[in-house]
Structure 1
Amino acid sequence: MEPVSVVERRVRDLILEHTRRVCEAVRGMVLTIESYTSMDSRGVALHLKRTKQMEGEADDYRRNIYEFLARASPALLNREDWLRLSIDLDKMADLAYSVAYRVSIACDKGWFPPREVVSKLGELAEATLQLCEKLKEALFTYTFNVERALAVCKEIELGEEEIDRMHRDLEMKILEVGAPLPLTMLLRDVCERMESVSDFIIDAVQDLRLIAFYRA
């Protein structure tokens, strides 16, 4: 059986690779939205494909983490915390692809958002990506400075509060502009799913805090 330090280092490396794929999936989501609001159907198709690829690679890492933890579980007391973290990460990638996919459907049908919605939609998408990048920073920093990682976690929580505000503003704007019902429903769905990504980022922050207790 491998020493605990070796096992944790290995699972930590897997989680970091998982997180990189998740962030790239979210980035692909943002680029898909940017292409959509620019009425660039080729860009939408290109970035949707990239988002799907990253979502698939993230899922592969989730399975690798499950398999590794199943073999290494006797040596790792906080195995369940690492599992929860991986699950929360994977949900972010799934949501990112689901947003990009819905946006691609709207683009294919020629359903484009009113100008008043475009900027707020882009702002929410970009803020979601920045929050995901902050999570990646926290997880990377955890490997050598737990206190700094926990400070980044606090920054993430403050950022999520801002995303909540942006989400409420966007949802209200979608209702105010009076777009056709199918587009209104789709935009609200996209808005909700992006907000859910930030919720899972907060869940991942809580997972990381629990993991950090073992190194306190």
Structure 2
Amino acid sequence: MRREDLSRPFKSIADQRLIEKYLEELRLLNDIIKSVYIIITQADNISKEELEKHIGIINNSKTEIELIKKDALQYISKTSPSLYHREDWLRIATKIYNATDKAGGVIYRLEYMVNKKWQIPSPIKKGLANLTDNVMKIVNEFVSALKCLTLEEAKISERFKAIDQLEKKADENYRKIIFTVLEKIFLILLRLQKMTCT
């Protein structure tokens, strides 16, 4: 989504209704991210009941997001002539749904590791927690930006600049996690090689 497209205020009633729908989706996405964060930070000692509780929250939120997305897309189709930024609304819907889908993928893998009682190395756990925290900040900024869409251009532009910065930070965190995982794998391979050589 181009920030300059979103820097003009959205003024129609149809746009306002979509803002309300997307704010609800973002609230549900925030619930998902909070549950992911709790599972990451408590992975070593989370009980089966607690894990199931958070997985239930995530699955319910995902289902609700899917229903809201379907409703929003039907609404966009129906009100398309009165929308100022139809394509941008479709991009926002896709962006929120993709984030929800990725969060679901993370929780699936975390659930697997927790159920297998695998230890998540501390640097990886810390990196995942930082990344999740950063994604939470992006969602919160997105909420603030959506609330500003019917206001003046300066506030909208300011919010989307903040989102750009947070997304860059999230990308950096993601790259750090990847390198930490690769480093751990490399060290394990070196140890295995030494063991086979002796």
Give the TM-score normalised by the residue count of structure 1.
0.74
- Out of 179, 192, 196, the residue aligned to residue 172 of structure 1 is 179
Counterpart of 1:100? Answer: 107
Q: CA offsets, 1:132-186, max 9 Å, x none?
A: 21111111122334321221111111122222222222212122234879xxxxx
Q: CA offsets, 1:3-35, max 9 Å, x none?
A: x72222222222222222222222222222223
Counterpart of 2:3? Answer: none
**Alpha-carbon separation, structure 2, partners of 1:122 and 1:97:** 16
- Out of 7, 16, 21, the residue aligned to residue 14 of structure 1 is 21
Counterpart of 2:78? Answer: 71
Q: Secondary structure at the match of 1:113?
A: coil
Counterpart of 2:7? Answer: none
Matching residue's letter, 1:14: K
**Unaligned 5+ residue runs, structure 2?**
1-10, 190-198
Q: CA offsets, 1:24-60, max 9 Å, x none?
A: 2222222222232444443222211111111111111
* Residues 58-67 or 123-132, more deviating: 123-132
Q: How does 1:49-64 map to 2 (within 5 A)?
A: 49-64=56-71
Structure of higher CA gyration radius: 2
* Identity rate, percent: 21
Counterpart of 1:139? Answer: 146
Give the TM-score normalised by the residue count of structure 2.
0.80
**Alpha-carbon separation, structure 2, partners of 1:37 and 1:107:** 7
Shift of 1:90: 1.0
**Unaligned 5+ residue runs, structure 1?**
182-216
Which contiguous aligned blocks of 4+ residues in structure 1 show a shift greater than 6 angstroms? none
Counterpart of 1:109? Answer: 116
**Alpha-carbon separation, structure 2, partners of 1:110 and 1:51:** 21
Contact 2:12 2:82 in 1 (8 A): no
**Alpha-carbon separation, structure 2, partners of 1:85 and 1:171:** 27
Tell me how many residue pairs correspond in the alignment.
Answer: 178
Counterpart of 2:4? Answer: none
**Alpha-carbon separation, structure 1, partners of 2:34 and 2:150:** 24
